[in-house]
Amino acid sequence: MSTRNKQEAICDFPLHSLNEIVFSRNHDLIQENANMDGSSPMGQMSKISSEVSKFYAKQMMLSEEITKAIDDNFIYPHDLDFMVTGTTTCCQIPLGEVLKGGFNTGHGFMREPNDISSAMALAAIIFQSNQNMQHGGQSYPMFDYDLAPYIDKTFQKNINRLKSYSTCYTEEELEALAWKETNRDVYQACEAFIHNCNSMHSRGGGQVPFVSINYGTDTSKAGRLLVKNMLLATKAGLGKGETPIFPIQIFKMKKGINFEPGEPNYDLYQLALETTAKRLFPNFSFIDSTFNCPYYDGTPESEIAYMGCRTRVMANRHGDENSIRRGNLSFTSINLVKIALIAKDECDYFNILDHYINLVIKQLLERFDFQAKKQAKHFPFLYGQHIWKDSENLKPDDEVGEVLKHGTLSVGFIGLAEALVALTGKHHGESKESYQLGYRIVQHMRAKVDEASEKYNLNFSLIATPAEGLSGKFTRNDQKEFGKIPGVTDRSYYTNSFHIPVYYKIKAIDKIKIEGSFHKLCNGGHITYIECDGDVSKNIHALDRLVKAMAQYDIGYGAINHPVDQCGVCGYSGIIDNECPICHNSDENKIGRIRRITGYLVGDMKRWNSAKRAEESERVKHQ
């Protein structure tokens, strides 16, 4: 399309879509992201901007063949509305470095804190500030290691103060008393941090920052104290006992550190199990998995760190191979189901798949070229405060392309299960032959992105897409073309990435075995969930067995789901069926039902789009 024709096409913007937002007529449109209240004033403004920006990007910034592939329902560039801004997706922030040097949010300099309370207050501010620089999430990869020095500072302040008060204590008694007070200080700091993460807003007030913290392997007294109190504060909940939605918490498992009895942080792992049994967090990552272990050299920086939903960034063709100061640049997903519906046979399927993988790689390169031409001054916190790797070498007017090379460009996919049903009649959870074909499909995709990495000298990766709005979008469009095909298009959603369908009855151990084999292929990110029934806090041993099974079968990142409900009348937290067992409240509007939507939690399922609500209602429990 010529520039003139493109500009003329801008006049064809579909105003009816804006009417659906202004008058809140289309719930699925305004609630594509359950983390944002799309009917609120700032939510509406954000959504209107989003729709206009996506239209502009398709008309003015994408190749015609890529726009056609999007319109034909084969591919979907995530966060396309942000393409016009040149933002990247996410970043693993070096909290310790930022705190030590101090930072500037644009309205004055924040000096290095002198205690844990100030350090954690600033940690929340850093999250909020960087959230406005990117369209995805923010994470701290070494939360315990980075904050431990400020606990030591707090201890020193406490013991100095106690010494000034009295000389009647022995040195040992003074230390014990100082650590007791420090423990209290750390708990209060953790409590305040969690409250901040669930109350402060970013992006024009439209949503709370999407944030994650990784911890669990620091064996120092201060590091252990931080993790203990973060778990205890999470377990206690918010002001009325509500389950905290953020930060997404990820407990890093490592043999020799927290895996078995007698290891230094095994008690913290047990507390993590108790906490996830009540609050659904923390999730669990596995440093010893076959694809995470090769990066580990014994240093905290080399430990695997995940972003909330599943994003993983480790390999790097342009520098240190770890997650620190790096993130995903953008990702685009492929509709595996539609390819299966038009393919004549298995060979044809792989030929069509190759065509769309190549198109996605082309689209990611086009987007990267635009991102690379942005200047450092356009992202004053991300680059100006040296959050992103090597950004300290940039001047305000410098283009950012060279430092962006540290990030990843990811090809995603959705609907492996439904694609296999279309191709073979069964999905990979119910047929060994279907599993083998599914494995070859994902293995083939990984090989293609590895080839792209070599060809373009960029960090291409394969991600197991966390489909939220896309889960229903692909399906609705395919239903219009193909009708409702049993096991393929007859539901209102497609199954996320390589997951076994949520409605299929399968033992937990079998689900872990099958899905675990795909984790090593999806080097850009992955997650496996297990659905438990009843009050799991009464059976911590069963949760331990699930986590250990994940480790055994090469899961990189896993989570355990179970019902978490809260009565809005009396505050009871537990399982609520039709009415609260304490005050007998039966008003569904006054019952909060915490559920995991992709990798994060949402406390009000009314914010979920219809496809994800349908998916949640069909989730079966794994025994």
pLDDT tens figures, 198-238? 998 776 556 788 899 999 999 999 999 999 999 999 999 99
Q: How confident is the model at residue 331 (pLDDT cuts 50, 70, 90)?
A: very high
Q: How confident is the model at residue 595 (pLDDT cuts 50, 70, 90)?
A: confident
Predicted pLDDT of residue 24? 62
Q: How confident is the model at residue 50 (pLDDT cuts 50, 70, 90)?
A: confident
Which residue type is seen at 355? H
Predicted pLDDT of residue 544? 98
Question: For residue 617, what are the contacts with CB-CB under 8 A and spacing of at least 6?
Answer: none
pTM score > 0.85 for this model?
Answer: yes
**91-92 vs 138-140, strand pairing mode:** parallel
Which residue type is seen at 143? F
How does the average pLDDT of the chain come out, rounded? 91
Predicted pLDDT of residue 44? 73
For 444-495, strand residue ranges (E) read 459-464
Given a cut of 70, whether residue 120 has pLDDT beyond it is: yes
- Least confident range from 166-170, 265-269, 575-579: namely 166-170
Are 328 and 412 within 8 A, CB to CB?
no
- How far, in Å, CA of 364 to CA of 408, rounded? 10
Tens-place pLDDT, residues 267-300? 999 999 999 999 999 999 999 999 999 999 999 9
Long-range contacts of 514-518 (CB under 8 A, 24+ apart): 514/428, 514/429, 514/435, 515/555, 516/550, 516/553, 516/554, 516/555, 517/439, 517/553, 517/554, 518/439, 518/442, 518/464
Alpha carbon dihedral 314, 319, 324, 326, in 10-degree steps, equals -80
- How far, in Å, CA of 78 to CA of 331, rounded? 6
- Least confident range from 22-26, 53-57, 521-525: namely 22-26
Given a cut of 80, whether residue 315 has pLDDT beyond it is: yes
Q: Write the CA distances from 412 to 195, 311, 369, 458, 576, integer angstroms.
A: 33, 11, 20, 16, 36
Predicted pLDDT of residue 107? 81
Predicted pLDDT of residue 346? 97
Q: Write the CA distances from 149 to 95, 121, 227, 244, 264, integer angstroms.
A: 12, 15, 14, 26, 19
Predicted pLDDT of residue 592? 82
Predicted pLDDT of residue 447? 98
Tens-place pLDDT, residues 148-165? 999 999 999 999 999 988
| Residue 441: φ, ψ to 5° | -65, -50
How large is the average pLDDT for residues 97-122? 95
| Residue 202: φ, ψ to 5° | -135, 180
Predicted pLDDT of residue 90? 97
Are 593 and 561 within 8 A, CB to CB?
no
Are 348 and 372 within 8 A, CB to CB?
no
DSSP state of 375: B
- How far, in Å, CA of 193 to CA of 124, rounded? 6
How large is the average pLDDT for residues 514-537? 95
Given a cut of 50, whether residue 181 has pLDDT beyond it is: yes
Q: 3-class DSSP state for residue 550?
A: helix
Predicted pLDDT of residue 486? 97
Tens-place pLDDT, residues 443-486? 999 999 999 999 999 999 999 998 777 878 999 999 999 999 99
Which residue type is seen at 332? T
Predicted pLDDT of residue 208? 83
For a pLDDT cut of 90, what percent of the chain falls above it? Answer: 75
Predicted pLDDT of residue 27? 55
- How far, in Å, CA of 2 to CA of 145, rounded? 54
Which tokens in the block code for residue 54? 């996506």
For a pLDDT cut of 70, what percent of the chain falls above it? Answer: 89
- How far, in Å, CA of 244 to CA of 565, rounded? 12
Q: Write the CA distances from 475 to 23, 26, 209, 591, integer angstroms.
A: 25, 17, 29, 30
Rg, C-alpha atoms of the chain: 24
- How far, in Å, CA of 328 to CA of 92, rounded? 10
Which residue type is seen at 182? T
Question: With helix as H, strand as E and coil as C, how does 119-174 read?
Answer: HHHHHHHHHHHHHCCCCCCEEECCHHHHHHHHHHHHHHHHHHHHHHHCCCCCHHHH
**Residue 305: closest CA among 453, 521, 143, 146:** 143
